[in-house]
Structure 1
Amino acid sequence: MPIKRSAGERTFDTFNILLLLVISLTVIIPFLYILACSFSSTNALIQGRVKLWPVEFNVDNYVLVLQNDVFWRSLGVTVIVVVSGTLLNMVLTVLTAYPLSRPKLKGKRLILLGIVFTMIFQAPIIPTYLLVKQLGMLNTLWALVVPLALSAFNLLICLTSFRSLPEELLEAARVDGMSEYRILGRIVIPLSVPIVVTLMLFYAVSHWNNYFSSLLYITNRSARPLQLYLYNIIAQFNMSESFPEALDATMKVSPQGLQMTVIIVSTLPILLIYPFIQRHFIKGALLGSIKE
C-alpha cells in the first residue's frame, strides 16, 4: 500500500525537481550552443543568428579539424598522458591506501596527517617548476604525469572504501597462506571494483582536462597535449599556427566555428566513456563517502 505523502513533502519534491531542472539546463544550454555553432556557416556566426540550432548546416569545420595533423598529434599526446598517468595514479593510490586501511599498521596516524597536510598546504608553483627542471623533465611527458602521480583526496576515498572490507575475510586469507600482495590482487581489488573504476574516472578526467601543467612545462610544439592546443586556439586566437589550411580562401570556415568544433571534438571522447562506467561510478561514489 503506497504511503500517502503530505502537502509539504510534495511541495518539497516539486521544488527540488524544478531546481535540478534549472541547473541541468544551465549546464546543457552552453554545450548545445557550442554544438550548434560548430555546424553553422560562417555568415550565420558573423551575423549572430545561431542560437541552439545550427543555421545553414555544414560540416566544413569538422572536416578541417579531423584532417589537421597538429590536432591528431596533440590528441595522441593526451591519450598517452591519460593512459600512463591514470595507470601510475591507480598503482600508487591502491598500494598506499591498502596498508593505511589496516588497523594494525604502526604510525599510520602520522602518515595520514602528512597526507592531509598536503591537501591544505600545496607546494608553490616556482619551487615545483624548479624541481621539474632540475629533474630534466621539461618538454617531456613525464612533467605531465609525475607531479600529479598521487591525489590525497582520491587516496582518502580509496582508504575509506578499503576500511569497509571485513577484517575477518582478510585474516582468513592470511591463515590460508596468502601474502599481502595476493590478498590485495585476489580479494581487495575485486571486491572494490566500483571505487577503483570511480577513481580511474577521476584521474582520467583530471589528466584529460589538465592544461596548466603543460602550460608551465611544455614549450615544444610536438609535445603539446590537446588542452594546450585548445588553449592556444581559444585564448590566443592562434589560428594560423594550428590551422594553416584555414588561410585558404576556398574553405568556408571561421575562427569561431573552428574553436567551437575543437571544443566538441576535445570533449566527446571523455563523454563517450562515462555511460559504460556509470553504474560503477555511482556505487563507488557512495562507498567512498561512507565511513564506518
Structure 2
Amino acid sequence: MNILRKLHPVTIFNYFFLTLFGTITLFPFLHVLAQSFSSQRAVVSNEVTIFPVEFHWGAYRLLLQDGDFYQAFMVSIIRVVAGVAINMTLTTLMAYPLSKQGVKGKNLVMNMVLFTLLFQGGMIPSYLLLRELHLLDTMWVMLLPSAVSAFNLILLRNFFLAVPMSLEESAKIDGAGHGKILWNIYLPLSMPAIATLSLFYGVMHWNTYFDAVMYISNSDLNPLQVYLRNLIVLSESNIETTNNTGMFLVATETLQAAAIIASVVPMIIIYPFVQKYFAKGVMLGALKE
C-alpha cells in the first residue's frame, strides 16, 4: 500500500491499462491452448474458455504421430536458419556502403530501394520470372525472392550512420580496410540492430506460407505454415483421428488448436533471447549522430 501511495495516479492508470491490454491480447492464445488440451465433447459444445475442460492430450499424440508434421517442421527450421543467414549477410553488405559518404551511385541505389517499398512486380510476373530461373519447386524459391527487405535495409543503414566516424578513422590510420572495419567495429556495435533484424527476418520466414503455396507443388517442401493452412482452411489432414471402431478420438478443432500451438512454441522460445536487444535496436536504428 505504501508503494501505491508513492506512485503518481497517471502511473497507476498506465500500469492498470497495460495489464488489462496485455490480458486481452493474451486471451486468444490461452483459448487456443485450452482447446488443444480439452476433450472432443467440451470443444464441440463450446464449453472451453481459457482453461482446459476434461483434460485430454490426444490431439498432440496424433499430431506427433504424423510424418507430414515432422517433415513440414524441418522444412520451416531449415528455411528460418538459411533464410536469416542469407538475409543478414546481404542486408549488412548492402547497408554498409550505403551509409558511407562519397560512394558513387549511392543516392540512385537508395531511390531504387525506396521504389520497391511502393511498387512491386506483381504475382504473375514474379511467377513467370521464377519459372524462367528454374527456381520453382526448390528451397531457393522461398529464400532468394525475399533475400533483402527494403525496410530492414533502411533500418540497418540508419544504425550504421549512428556509429561515430572517429572509430572508423582510427581504424583506417592503423591500416584497416573496409572489411575489417565492418567486422571489428560496425558489427559489434550493431548487435542490437542485428538481433532485432534477425528476429524480423526469422518471424517472416516462419510465418510466411503464400510463397510456398504459389511456387511449390512438391509436398515434401511444404513448410509448417502450409501444413497448418491445409489443416485449418481446407479441413483436411493425413492424421487418423478415429479408432478401430470408427469413434472419433479428437475433435477437428482440437487438432487444429494443437497444430497452432506447435507452430507458435518455437518463436516463443527464441524471443526471450533477443528481447533485450529488440527495443534498443529499433530506437537506435532511427537516430543519427
TM-score, structure 2 length as denominator?
0.93
Are 2:270 and 1:273 aligned? yes
**Superposed displacement of residue 26, structure 1:** 2.6
User: Among residues 254, 258, 268, which one is paired with 1:257 in the alignment?
Assistant: 254
**Superposed displacement of residue 283, structure 1:** 1.6
User: Among residues 119, 122, 131, which one is paired with 2:120 in the alignment?
Assistant: 122
**CA distance in 2 between partners of 1:20 and 1:290 (Å):** 27
**Superposed displacement of residue 14, structure 1:** 4.4
Counterpart residue number, 1:189: 187
Where do residues 227-266 of structure 1 align in structure 2 (5 Å cutoff)?
227-239=225-237, 242-243=238-239, 245-248=240-243, 249=246, 252-266=249-263
**Superposed displacement of residue 61, structure 1:** 0.8
**Superposed displacement of residue 234, structure 1:** 0.5
Q: What CA RMSD, in Å, does the superposition of the two structures yield over aligned residues?
A: 1.8
Counterpart residue number, 2:163: 165
Where do residues 207-218 of structure 1 align in structure 2 (5 Å cutoff)?
207-218=205-216
User: Among residues 50, 54, 76, which one is paired with 1:52 in the alignment?
Assistant: 50
8 A Cα contact 1:42 1:254, kept in partner? yes
Counterpart residue number, 1:82: 80
**CA distance in 2 between partners of 1:84 and 1:236 (Å):** 29
- Percent identity over the alignment is 42
**Superposed displacement of residue 102, structure 1:** 1.1
Count of equivalent residues: 283
8 A Cα contact 2:242 2:249, kept in partner? no
8 A Cα contact 1:60 1:251, kept in partner? no
The one-letter code sitting in structure 2 at the alignment partner of 1:29 is F
Counterpart residue number, 1:132: 130
**Superposed displacement of residue 11, structure 1:** 5.0
Counterpart residue number, 1:93: 91
The one-letter code sitting in structure 1 at the alignment partner of 2:83 is G
**Superposed displacement of residue 13, structure 1:** 3.7
**CA distance in 2 between partners of 1:290 and 1:122 (Å):** 28
**CA distance in 2 between partners of 1:120 and 1:252 (Å):** 50
**CA distance in 2 between partners of 1:158 and 1:203 (Å):** 13
Give a deviation string over 1:190-243, Cα, whole Å, max 9, x none: 11111101110100000000011111111111110000110000011012xx31
Q: 5+ unaligned residues in a row in structure 1: which ranges?
A: none
**CA distance in 1 between partners of 2:44 and 2:122 (Å):** 43
**CA distance in 2 between partners of 1:184 and 1:86 (Å):** 19
SS at match of 2:46: coil
Q: 5+ unaligned residues in a row in structure 2: which ranges?
A: none
The one-letter code sitting in structure 1 at the alignment partner of 2:52 is P
**Superposed displacement of residue 149, structure 1:** 0.4
Counterpart residue number, 1:156: 154
**CA distance in 1 between partners of 2:111 and 2:58 (Å):** 55
Counterpart residue number, 2:65: 67
